[in-house]
Structure 1
Amino acid sequence: MRHTFLCVLLLTLLDTLLYCGHAQDAVLTTDPYWSPLFTGESVTFICDMKEGGVTDWDYKFNKDGGEFTPYNIDQRYTLNSLSPGHSGEYQCCGSHKRSRQTKCSKIVTLTVSASDKPKATLTSGPTTIPVGGRVTLTCSVEPSAGWKYEWFRRSTDTSEVQAINDGGNGVISVSQGGIYWCIGGRGRRGEPVYYTDHSDPVTIEIIISNKTVVTRQHNWPQIFRGEKITLTCEVQGGEDTEWKYEWRKPRSSTHWTDNKYWTFTASESSSGDYMCRSRLRDDSYSSQSGCLSVRTTESVLDVRMGQTFLSVLLLTLTSVFLYCGHAQDAVLTTNPYWSPLFIGESVTFTCDMKEGGDTDWDYKFNRSDQQVLAYETQVYRLNRLSTNDSGEYQCCGRHRISNDTKCSNTVSLTVSDKPRATLTSGPTTIPVGGRVTLTCSVEPSAGWKYEWFKRSTDTSEYQVRTNDGENRFISVSQAGIYRCRGGRGGRGESVYYTYHSDPVTIEIIISNKAVVTRQHNWPQIFRGENITLTCEVQGGEDTEWIYGWKSPWSSIQWTNNKNWTFTVYVPRGGDYNCKGRRRDDSYSSTEWSKAITFSVSFVVLYTCT
């Protein structure tokens, strides 16, 4: 008997809304987003499947190509108390609970610094506050982002620490003397703050307006060896204030005392400069100084008594206020004070002799022990810096009357190539009604203020208006292409700008919902028939849209037509979805629609004999 089997190929169209297995890649993000992280911090990985609800998927996380956590229902995975061993490349994958289709995210690199817990760095330009002035202190933690800063002050006379509340700023301006230090802290809401180690302390002193004068008790023109001299440290305008006094003589110094008088016995070694300094008894960092010059001369009185010569040493005390040649070292400062500087910037060196008036001295400047400016003014300016200007700088002063000289500390100047700003963003897609934060930075350096720019494919770039602050962070709710740059300087000088950052594209999800529908509701479709899908944007009937389509056999394709017609054949079974984008805005679109799925089955025709 011969049996014949007729097998018919049937294409069944299932008009069931399922989630697209590969409609859009999963997205893995970290909270916080900055890098590097440090030992002891925490990070949370968040896996967004971009399709369906959070509970429709099981999730797993991979590290360096291997499974890190098995599939489970948690979309988030937190690593607490990070260590360098947690550094690596992370990826998440999702498995749909009904269709069992899977998709994975791109790789995200996590870097946990192998160095110890970071230490904040406190920098200051001058450390002495002039009368009525202020100095600027800067706290930083490099290289990293997301820090807010806390400031502290104390004095040597008390262990009590004063916290300075300035809103977390890295730069503060102070008018009080004292010992300052800072720390950086960062973290997420509801979690303990991660703190750096404290910075090294910086001592700030303040010059008060009272003038200190050294006077002599007796006005004898000559004093003999062995006689006593009494000097008095007078603070003009401070008669009703309690003071402490410090005396310095040519080859030694004394400790601070409550006594404004100093009595000593005249000898051959008494010649030299005498200086006193006063400070408020309840403030170790407010002071003023004055000095008196004492000169000894040997006058020999010959009294001939046979072969005997009587030599009498006469001590002449000159009650003239001269400038103490070595009472205090000169100080070299730079404006601006930050480091490094960059090619094209300018810097001004100022030499402060700490004695007398500015015009009482001639000044010279050295770089790496080579003279760059002969004895002239106290200010030396370098315009349009180059890397050749890097080096160790020092200034020296020569007094025009006494010819005494003294030199300053050395100041290092580093000049680097022009920098490029760095723009970072956590997520680059703004959810409905949400915002994203962009961060601009120039590392390693300080003193920058940031400018932001935005454009689209249809409009030219324009500057985003921000406040008058540093503007390192901005929060945006508009889509577009963003760039930033850093600038510093100004106030009578041109602003020095970095190169622009690389652009970052921000997209926005609008609230309209896209839905895929099918033109005919046939339960079965045969090979060669046409299917028409329609992308409807709910609530957007009066808006002109461009439509994006995803299918198993093609990548995203954009069209002005909301209808998509294609011919059915076997490989074209699978998931289809769409989204709408406003025609006048390339960066505002709906979320991808839920999918309509075509399930293909076979019945094979063959004959058995």
Structure 2
Amino acid sequence: MWKDTNNRVCCMICISLVSHFGQKSGPTIIPVGGRVTLSCSVDDSDGWKYDWFRRTSNSNEAQLIQYFYLCLSVSTSVSVTLQPDWSQVFSGEKITVRCEIQGGGDTEWDYEWKTPQSTSHQTHVNYWTLSVSESSSGNYMCRGRNRRDSYSSTQWSKTITLTVSEKPKPQLSADDRDIPVGGSVTLSCSVNPSSGWKYYWYRGDQSSELLIRHDDVFNSSGKISVSQEGQYWCRGGRGEPVYYSQYSQSVRINRLVTVSNRVVVTLHPNWSEIYHGEMITVRCEIQGGDTEWEYEWETTSSIKPSNPKEFRISSASSSHSGNYRCKGRKKNAQHETTEWSDFIELTVNNSKSNLHSFISNKLNLMFHITLKCEVEHPSAGWRFYWYKTVPKLSDRLYRYELLPGSDSGTEEDSYMVHGQTHTAGYVCRAGRGEPVFYTEHSKPTFVWSGGQFVPLILSFHLYLPVICL
């Protein structure tokens, strides 16, 4: 027996090595997969506690082993659980923190805790219930200590982290703010994260009685259909006793009143067919009175208009093709609305072919030539432009000179050339709208003169040009 540097009484230890199968083995041999039992005693004395040391072949110093902490660790498993096990906990909720030990036989345990508020907290029961606050956030771990042998304990459990947030506020939304005649709207209430929440509905103000008391509504997905106008609220609740969220923001639901004003959709210009690149305006017109309106549109086209009175398309394309309708809502009485207008169809033609002209061999006794221009798929609004071809000797091409009176185009699709006495070529094209949308030029058509004039009617057939998109 001796004293160490810390003034502790040390003794010579009698060690017996026993195999896992209860047989004595050599003093330095541990069987494969087995273990040995070490015994330490001080003769003729009571009240001793024992420190254990271990020295390996790589070290000359003995290392202290806190063996009484480890003696039960092989056969026990320790964990901390939260009940309820929500993914997120909110300030004011009641949570039970429990220390669970599996294994250890019929050992009676005391429990030691490490919490955000304390590095050492001991209880005789394996749980406690607390009303959490944001200061409760942090790491929790526990271990068991043998009640009969205070020096025997399990290992510490793995850490479990508790995150506490401030009381949540639900989000309330409506698929529409207006109840149609004979219909209803759907309200949706949600608290995120959504684990375990039931939803409670109110109409009027926050002090109103519950709108619906049926449990199947409380257990729903947070949706409810309403057909009465009014101010609506909701809140969530979960747990036992019920923990309530804050109230949501309110949503005002109105019952629509239909006014008698007639609504129509018009196209400007009102041509039966629109070509790629043309300008067009789709207009909502409400007839009767001097009321100020807000406008709402529905369309089957891929481009949706916003809510002004008219939808101006600066360059039409196939994406604008579709049916359009609109309705109006009074600015000073949002619950008063018109019926929907009838649909009007807008068709944008992207298919255009090259312009073409041809000569009709119709003789004329007068010394003049009649030029005639035709547009494929005739439609309203076209004016016709007439040109004489002038050769460009440098590149064997032509330039076009407007014929007299053709600067602004002509409403007539024919043009008469007087006093033709020599060979010449002619082309035409058509245009409409503001700014002017033009077809391609026709192919040049020539009148040949060999000393005698041959009067002709030249007929140009125009096709709209192909645009590859």
Decide: shared fold, TM above 0.5: no
Q: Does 1 or 2 have the higher relative contact order (CA < 8 Å, sep 6+)?
A: 1
Structure with the greater alpha carbon radius of gyration: 2
**What's the TM-score once normalised by structure 2's chain length?**
0.41
